[in-house]
Amino acid sequence: MIYFIYSSYTLKKDVERSILATDKIKVCGKYLGIKTSPGATRAGPKDYITFQNDDGSISQFHSIPRYQNELFDLKQIYADDRICYYYSLKYTVNGNDYFISRIDILRNR
């Protein structure tokens, strides 16, 4: 129980730092959707917001709906939509995952 409370508090602080960061990177590309990857046995599978960047590389960010739903609505973004997303290289959540703090949809289809 104590671990759960501590980890929730830490996650909230990590998310806040990521949102307020002034060093955000902007990357543009194509939204590929939510992909599920098997997680550790105890934790179960993890959902990742997945993009194909303009340079052809694939980026995945851990989906944390309880925070991201307040920042943007993934239900308004469709597979293959052109987007730009923002995240900080300085701050991570859960120790090693970057957090998307903003998504701009580019409606040039």
Domain boundaries along the sequence of the chain: 2-106
Helix (H, G, I), strand (E, B) or coil at 68: helix
**Which has more confidence, 29 or 40?**
29
pLDDT of residue 59: 95
Give the tens place of pLDDT for each residue, 48-102.
Answer: 999 999 999 999 998 888 888 888 888 889 999 999 999 999 988 877 789 999 9
Span 29-56, average pLDDT: 87
Q: Which CATH code for domain 2-106? A: 2.40.50.140
pLDDT of residue 43: 66
Confidence of residue 41 (pLDDT cuts 50, 70, 90): low
* Residue 25 bridge partners (DSSP): 87
CA distance 49 to 61: 5
User: Does residue 68 contact residue 100 with C-beta atoms inside 8 Å?
Assistant: yes
